[in-house]
Structure 1
Amino acid sequence: MVVNGSKAGVSTAPPHELNVRKFAESRASELKGLHSLIAERLDNNFRSQRNKRRRTTGHDDRVAKKKFRKRRRVGAEDMGKIDSVDKDEKKNSRRVRRNVELKKNPLSGFGTSGDGTKRLRTHVWHAKRFTMTKLWGFHIPVGLHGRGRGSRALMKKLKHGVLVHDASYYGCVQFEGPEDMLVSVLSAVLVPSPSTCSEGVSHDILAGTIFGTAMLHHAGKPSFPPVSPVTYMWRPVQQISTNTGDVSIDNFHGEQNMDDSTIIRQVWVWIHAAAFKEAYDALSSSLQRQTDRAQSARVVTREGQLAKLELMGSKVFQLLQKTLLPASGSENSWHLKTCSADEHDDFGESEKTSISQNSQISSSAVVSLVVKDPRALTKKGTVIVRGQKPLGLLSNGECQIEEQTVSSCPKNEAECACEYNDLWDTSKGVCPPVEESFLSTEKYHQHKEFICLGHKSSESQNASVDGEYSRLCPILLLKNENHEDSITRCSIILPLSWVKAFWLTFMSNGAHAIGLREKHWVACELGLPHFPADFPDCDAYSNVVAMEAAALRQKSRLLPPSKRPLEVPIAPPWDCVRLTSGKRSSEVGNSGSQVEELGTQDEKIDMSKSSSYEKMETSSTDCHGVPFEGNIARTSSMLNNFLNNISGDHFLLFPKIRDQRSCLYKLMKDEAFLKPDTTVSEVQCGKTQCYIRVLLRAYKEGVFEQGAVVCAPDVADIMLWKARSQSDNQQLQIPQSSLKSYFLQLPSGKWELQIPEDPTRGETYRWPIGFITTGFVRGSKRATASALCDASLLSGLRKEQWKALPVRQRRKEIYVLVRNLRSTAYRLALATIVLEQQEQDVKFM
């Protein structure tokens, strides 16, 4: 107790309770003066103004009385039986029952609606703010309400803030077994396989320090299309007990013990919900093919146990520094800076270890952490706290001002940190977080005690939580590769029961939530492929496109015929590209006044059909909008194999190979290469087309939409476009009459390419070489689109352009023409081949 020096025995410490009546009596003169001032201004009229009254009927019970009278008339014969007991037994309304169900936080599993559709743990938060849709068996947020705009504001938030996406619909498959067996199983279904990576990368992946991305295929079924892109990670070896002699596989399939030289490893494979079932079957069949040691391993699903939150933006690490506080006593390889050395002296030395540069964390790194409940960490603010020598509230001395962060961690925090030292052990069970109501009550009593209200022996100190709850959470932090220096992408893997605790904390600290539509925009801005929009060779793409086409048809039927938009193919007719390959090959063959014999018998038939322009017109009925047929080269090795199989060493495609400099610039600046008198030769490709992903940007102007057709320009088109001034309105475009007949829909529902019979229309016709899978994002300063184009046709275009243009005007980009399906104008664009910039194109969002 602090004693005033002038008056002995008089305490100046603030009282624990305030008597309101005594306080009002001591300030009676001040209150009367204030009342007189207000009365003078209001002219003694204290009635509320009529236009400012609350128009509500909450106080009116006439509706309840009316329902009661109606119930009396219906059940007049047994009126006495209507009592309070019957009211309690009455079934609650659907709204009340649904709110109670959605507030539950079980350890595992998703809540489901009446038709079995799963709900995310953040469903209530998203349903109040986002447009929801039923997709892939989940209620998934599509985006903010409206017409699908807002991309300009989203790009600003990406550059100057943090975006958060709840990716809990991703499924996790866990492999358990000997290391050599798991490597062989993954190598059979993943492209690129872990064994084909460089020695350093392969060692880091097996050690569990970084994660890998690859395309999942069906084992032993080369003709089957790929399943989906996946992310896989290994459990670190140092976190597994080396005493394998005591490890048994009783939980697997047998009871025999493993050999002392064998270590049981675990691998997680994260799969998109659109292809989870197919991917799980492919992984299971790949494991069953290992007949020699199949009994020593197993594959299980962790769906409904783990969740995934994706963060992207320029201030991701600033958000993590404010929300993730590693628990003291946990052995973490990396810690986030949460406070300075002068603040929170009771924290351990490990928590003060900070990292200020993001470059210290390598790309694709996997960091295991045990963090405190983020809801217990409030925003730092300037508050009045008690020091070692508290001063009276009514004294004239200066109060001690400090920054306080309220933390409500248990005393045995170190023991809990050792208990949950890794997220891989959550299959044994993880305690859910403390309920929000208990935390609110606890913070309320802490605040009352802080401002010296209430007794010290308040009920907050004696309060206890019913059930098993925890204030610590094990997580895995994954840092994705940065495609821009200012944009950081991270993923947090955590138990499903902790999703709402982290989500609400991120929202309260300035993060912006996004849905599927906004996530697609971010992927286009960063130049990353987005699943399933940029993977037409997967079955998930066909399913999504079919649903989108059905929705557009239903929406079009509701409009009158005069206002219905032009019907275009939603799924691009990829077979049209094969016609372009045959046409260009025939042109090269006819340069010597006759068609040479090339390729197999099937290729000869195609060449005979396309030996002249008139014969090409008759082959238009062979091109239908069938599902995607072809291969997409997503790694440099796949593109090299394609070039080797067709003897395409002279093709001007330069995939970036590891530890080898590209010769693209060397040949581009070589004056003796491709002289004007050099004959450009083409090699007839095989039956299977090979596509590569390119990034398109407009040469001068134009907006490229999803589904737009990419065409091969003539050299004259490029010269005309480069010479045309900004004020010149002359553009290359097809006739308006041929816009509806460019793609014609057959009675079977498929689309075919129509070749114009009129020679005047044929002058403006340009042959397709690919289609755009992701269009421009409005408001983006980069304005790039993603497309898939035929590799051989791109090589031919590069040869023609390098041959026609001077050496100083040669570019590594390839000039192409792009036309939106509902537009007649062609736009000149520059295509950049992704595999010439990086070795692999398997990074996705």
Structure 2
Amino acid sequence: MATDGFRRLQVSSAPPRKINVQKFAESRAPELETLHTIVSNRVNNDFRSRRSKRRRTTAYDNQAAKKRCRKKRKLGLVDQGSNALPPEKDEKNVPRRIRRRTELKMNLENGFCTSGDGTKRLRTHIWHAKRFTMTKLWGYYLPLGLQGRGRGSKAVLKWFKDGMLVHDASYHVAIQLEGPEDSLLSVLEMVMVPSSSARSVISGIIYDSAMLHHLGAPFSTPIAPVTYMWRPSGPPSDGCNGLEGTENSSTFRQLWVWIHASVLTEAYHTLKLACQKEMDNRDILINCFSLEGQLAKLEVVGLKAFQLLQRTLCPTTRIRDDSWNLMKHSVSEAKDDSQSKIILEKEDSIPSHAILSLNVKDPRTLTEKEKIAYAPESGSTSVLGDVLGTERKEHVVFGRFSDEPEGSGMLAEKSLWDVSSGVSPPVEEEVICKEKHDQHKNFLCLDDLSSGALNTSTKSPCSRSCPIMLWSVILPLSWVRAFWISLVSKGAHAMGLREKHLISSEVGLPYFPSDFPDCNAYLCLKETEAVASSLKEELRPPAKRPLRVPILPPWNTIRAALNEGSTTVGEDEIFRQENGVRSNSSSNSDCGLSDPTLTACLGNSFDGSVARTSVSLTKFLNEIQGCHLHLCPHVADKQTSFTKFMRDESKLGLGQNVINKLKYNRKLCFVRVLLHAYKEGFLEEGTVVCAPQLTDISMWKRSEFFDGGLQMPQSAVTSYFKEQSSGKWELQIPEDTVGRESHRWPIGFVTTGFVRGSKKPVAEAFCEAVVLNRLREEQWDSKPAKRRRKEIYVLVRNLRSSAYRLALATIVLEHQDEDVEFM
């Protein structure tokens, strides 16, 4: 009997499957009445709130509910009854704000929502518009930056170094090329520098970056930096999902070229012309079309970016841990007994620039168990290869996995490469919310088994998994909102164009189009900024307007620095006219030129070319017979060979003879340099880089002259660059003795300044290569061999300041063979 009583007690202690709410309330009724009596006695039966604690509310008249009901009636979401307005009048009276909000909430499979003037809006427009300053740029409404004056760089750097940042870069567009492999290679050789023929790139194992030129590369005008990737050749083999064979390559290949929105039209027409030329020569067919409005791009950077992706992306398939060995070598070399593991578990197993595509579950439907299963281990500090916090600044592209679970959609076996044939959109948010609500009710034992199946959408088939690429997160456009909210809710900080520019400056990578002065997109951007700056200045009183400086740097004036040493007195006036140089005593009518080519040089367009590869810089040196110049783009071993070259006394003086023979009508060659302040100074965008004298360097190195430094008269500051009536800026040569002594010739301009709050601030500038060689030779000649350094001393001056600062310039191409990586 005791045992039966124990069993009876154990059974009665279990919670019931169902809870009758009415009976539960009746059993607790005496307790509630007692509580009410106690509270009534304390407040003397006066339940009104104190007058001092009242707030203005609309509880007495539920206007908010009435307003929502009217909106629903206008949108036709509720039964309007007999008092409903006619449909024609109802649609006409819908406010623009409601119509736009309804339009932006629609999740179209392809394309962007547009405003009245045709400006496109991103899928995350509503989210950004509430938190960011928006700007109309390149045909899109884009988030310019966080609200404020743009002084939050210190917080952005902290998020980048200790957390993660995400940016909606859906304004980048992929252009797809289809055709025979050898024909596509010929097309790339026509328009790209450098055109990689590495087998790892062509087979689709890794991606690459290059500069896109007009037809006739590398001598034609550059358009923009691009990232291109080949579709892996061959179907998946050995049952290893996502690994595509690289040996049995097909003749027909597929290629993506990712292009910035500012040059989309120009780049698309150039690729079309190159394809048409190749088709005419070989009588073949090459397809070239844009994937605008079909693919989206989310850039995730930061120290914990890889951990964020591990918590967000849940692959639907597994691959072997040695899969990268299959891609790097051959299928036969791989081990067959390797264990099955998730590809995102180990970042070290993912090589640089790798391509791998995944098929992941909808991040909105992940359960807590799935999030924990794919979360990184505690204390892990791994980051993605394309997270730019590393010193190597290597990028990683993840390519393709595609196996979807049952009932996941109509394209269960297609990858992101087949996005042009259609991709299933995600399940609607209302359906997912209803499912989560019913699951919560079931967990609280409030479910009703007789209610039947859950309501599902009656629209086109939806999917609960999505094919993506993780170079940045490349995914179908209809899936952007689902992934964006998941990334932000897990701790990622959103960044706009301004914050992205700060990150690129911090890691020393060029930012397009601000750091590409030889491209038309740079000129258009600066002209837009100049117009905005002029309008802003006109709103201020004349007495409080700042000194007017050129927004678009006058690159044509740099030609003067190359010829300053070789110009004689008799040629002085001709030299000034042909190089856009004027003296303070010259009038505007003294600059009439009959030669149209020289007249064009007086404009603010970029006068020269930029060497972004060691091959192009070496070719330039050979053309001007400058093999003895002290520039080393061809050095294989950068450390030992450069040190040996730097201490070779026999090569000093040979370069100066070459420089003296150069004519000033040749095309200039610029190289990208990184500037570090020698002792103090803050470099802004547009800062002019000048050629120092040896006395300037010695004066800065002596502590007794450090406080004063080199100064120029305030009158010379206002007239260093003078705006003419035509809107062009020209360099002014001072006539007085004091002004001439402090005048320094410009050799380049800063395109990206220091980042406030950075521990190691670095600025990016473009300087003339031959002038840098001259400065290096002078500085090496004045020092013993053991005290020479690779960096070149230059002077920098903010255009509104009278003080020169000493800086160290590092030529990028002397530390790497190519300078085509960008953000």
How far does residue 416 in structure 1 lie from its aligned partner after superposition? 5.7
What amino acid does structure 1 have at the position aligned with 2:519? C
> SS where residue 365 of structure 1 aligns?
coil
Counterpart for residue 768 of structure 2 = 790
Equivalent-residue separation in structure 1 for 2:577 and 2:542 (angstroms)? 43
Q: How does 1:392-541 map to 2 (within 5 A)?
A: 412-413=405-406, 419-461=412-454, 466-478=459-471, 491-541=472-522
Pair 1:270-2:223 in alignment: no
Instruction: Give me the whole-angstrom Cα distance separating, in 1, the residues matched to 2:342 and 2:260.
Output: 36
Would you say the 8 A contact 1:325–1:351 is kept in 2? no
SS of 1:283's equivalent?
helix
**Structure 2: which amino acid aligns with 1:509?**
K
4 and 501 in structure 1: CA distance in 2 versus 1, 3 angstrom threshold:
farther
Shift of 1:14: 3.2
Equivalence for 1:822: 800
Distance 1:171 1:813, change over 3 A: same
Change (3 A) 1:312 1:26: same
Partner Cα distance (1:674, 1:634) in 2: 26
Residues 149 and 46 (structure 1), Cα distance of their counterparts in 2 relative to 1, 3 Å cut: same
Query: How many percent identity over aligned positions?
Result: 51
Q: Residue type matched to 1:512 in 2?
A: H
Q: Secondary structure of 2:475's match?
A: strand
Cα offset for 1:539? 0.8
Alignment partners' CA distance in 2, 1:552 and 1:368: 44
The CA distance in 1 between the partners of 2:630 and 2:343, in whole Å, is 49
| Aligned 1:362-377 pairs, distance under 5 A | 362-377=351-366
Partners in 1 of 2:698 and 2:774 — Cα distance?
Answer: 18
CA contact 1:208–1:237 (8 Å) conserved in 2: yes
Residue 266 of structure 1: SS of its match in structure 2? strand
Q: For structure 1, which segment, 503-512 or 219-228, has the greater mean C-alpha deviation from structure 2 after superposition? A: 219-228
CA–CA separation in structure 2 for the residues paired with 1:382 and 1:424 = 28
Q: Aligned partners of 2:410, 2:323: CA distance in 1, in Å?
A: 15
Q: Which residues in structure 2 correspond to 1:206-245 (within 5 Å)?
A: 206-220=202-216, 224-239=220-235
Q: Once the 2 structures are TM-superposed, how far is the Cα of residue 140 of structure 1 from its aligned partner?
A: 0.8
Distance 1:261 1:631, change over 3 A: closer
> Equivalents in 1 of 2:235, 2:514: separation in Å?
38
Please tell me whether the aligned partners of residues 328 and 350 of structure 1 are also in contact (alpha carbons under 8 angstroms).
Answer: no
Q: 1:422 to 1:679 in 2, by over 3 A?
A: closer
Output one character per residue of 1:331-379: Cα deviation in whole Å (capped at 9) or x when no partner. Answer: 99879xxxxxxxxxxxxx9874355543321221111111111111255
Per-residue deviation at 1:54? 3.7
| 1:52 maps onto 2:48 in alignment | no
Q: Which moved more, 1:288-297 or 1:744-753?
A: 288-297
Are 1:732 and 2:704 matched, yes or no? no
Displacement of 1:665: 1.3
- Residue 451 of structure 1 deviates from its aligned partner by 2.7
> How do 1:142-291 and structure 2 match up within 5 A?
142-195=144-197, 202-220=198-216, 224-239=220-235, 263-290=251-278, 291=280
Alignment partner of 1:310 is 2:299: yes
> Does 707-716 or 798-807 show the bigger shift?
798-807
Residues 625 and 44 of structure 1: is their aligned pair in 2 closer, same or farther, counting only changes over 3 Å? Answer: farther
Give the letter for the 2:646 counterpart.
M
| Cα contact 1:373–1:501 (8 A) shared by 2 | yes
The aligned amino acid for 1:52 is: K
TM-score (norm 1): 0.80
Shift, 1:22, TM fit: 2.7
Alpha carbons 1:208, 1:236 under 8 Å: kept: yes
Q: Contact (CA 8 Å) 2:673, 2:764: kept in 1 or not?
A: yes
**1:609 positional shift:** 9.1
Moved more, 5-14 or 440-449: 5-14
Over 3 Å counting, the alpha-carbon distance change for 1:788 and 1:261 in structure 2 is closer
- C-alpha distance in structure 2 between counterparts of 1:171 and 1:744, whole Å: 40
**Is contact 1:718-1:815 (8 Å) kept?**
yes
Counterpart AA for 2:545: R
Gaps of 5+ in 2: 68-80, 238-247, 325-337, 373-402, 592-597
Q: How many residues align?
A: 739
Q: 1:659 to 1:169 in 2, by over 3 A?
A: same
Contact 1:370 1:473 in 2 (8 A): yes
Tell me which residue corresponds to 2:124. 122
Deviations 1:226-260 (A, max 9, x none): 1111110000002389xxxxxxxxxxxxxxxxxx9
Label 1:65 to 1:642 Cα distance change in 2 as closer, same or farther (>3 A): closer
Equivalent position to 1:648, from 589, 601, 626: 626
> Of the candidates 652, 659, 665, which is equivalent to residue 682 of structure 1?
659
1:694 aligns with 2:673: yes
For 2:126, what is the secondary structure of its paired residue?
helix
Contact 1:330–1:414 (CA under 8 A) maintained in structure 2: no
Paired with 1:629 and 1:440, the residues of 2 have a C-alpha distance of 59
Cα drift, residue 61 of structure 1: 7.5
Letter in 1 for 2:20: N
* Counterpart amino acid of residue 786 in structure 1: E
Task: Check the 8 A contact 1:323/1:506 in 2, yes or no.
Answer: yes
CA distance in 2, matches of 1:422, 1:792: 50
Give 1:613 shift: 13
SS of residue matched to 2:144: strand
Instruction: State the SS of the aligned residue for 1:229.
Output: strand
- Structure 2 counterpart of 1:95: 97
Q: Which moved more, 1:309-318 or 1:684-693?
A: 684-693
Please report the TM-score for the alignment, with normalisation by the length of structure 2.
0.83
1:404 corresponding residue in structure 2: none
Structure-1 separation of matches of 2:424 and 2:319? 17
Query: Using the alignment, how far apart are the partners of 1:170 and 1:436 within structure 2?
Result: 26
Paired AA for residue 659 in structure 2 = E
Decide whether aligned partners of structure 1 residues 89 and 783 sit closer, same or farther in structure 2, where only a CA change above 3 A counts.
Answer: same
Post-superposition shift, 1:542?
A: 0.9
**Which region of structure 1 is more displaced relative to structure 2, 120-129 or 461-470?**
461-470
Q: Secondary structure at the match of 1:801?
A: helix
Identify the range of structure 1 (771-780 vs 325-334) with the bigger mean alpha-carbon deviation.
325-334
Which aligned pairs between 1:2-151 and structure 2 lie closer than 5 A?
A: 5-7=6-8, 12-32=13-33, 34-35=35-36, 38-39=39-40, 42=43, 44-57=45-58, 59-60=60-61, 83-86=83-86, 90-91=90-91, 92-151=94-153
Q: Aligned equivalents of 1:180 and 1:65: distance in 2?
A: 67
Question: Following TM superposition, by how much is the alpha carbon of 1:298 offset from its aligned partner in structure 2, in angstroms?
Answer: 1.4
Q: Per the alignment, in what secondary structure is the counterpart of residue 517 of structure 1?
A: helix
Alignment check: 8 A CA contact 2:638 2:815 kept: no
1:576 to 540, 557, 565: 557
CA distance in 1, matches of 2:125, 2:632: 47
The 1:48–1:181 alpha-carbon spacing in structure 2 relative to 1, beyond 3 Å, is same
Q: Does residue 773 of the first structure (1) align with residue 751 of the second (2)?
A: yes
Cα distance in structure 2, aligned partners of 1:137 and 1:212: 27
Q: Give the direction of change, closer, same or farther, for the CA distance of 1:90–1:193 in structure 2 (3 Å limit).
A: same
CA distance in 1, matches of 2:671, 2:703: 31
Distance 1:631 1:519 in 2: 26
The residue aligned with 1:482 is: none
Contact 2:694 2:779 in 1 (8 A): yes
Structure 2: which amino acid aligns with 1:584? Answer: G
- Deviation sequence 1:626-667 (CA, Å, 0-9, x none): 201201000000110011111112211111555787622113
Aligned residue type for 1:456: L
Q: Which amino acid aligns with 1:156?
A: K
The 1:614/1:51 distance shift into structure 2, 3 A limit, reads closer
2:389 maps to none
Q: 1:735 to 1:468 in 2, by over 3 A?
A: same
Distance 1:470 1:614, change over 3 A: closer
- CA gap 1:267/1:87 in 2 versus in 1, 3 angstroms: closer
Flag the 1:235–1:222 CA change in 2: closer, same or farther, 3 A: closer
**Matching residue of 1:198:** none
Cα 1:604–1:760 change in 2 (3 A) is: closer
Between the aligned partners of 1:122 and 1:83, the Cα distance in structure 2 is 38
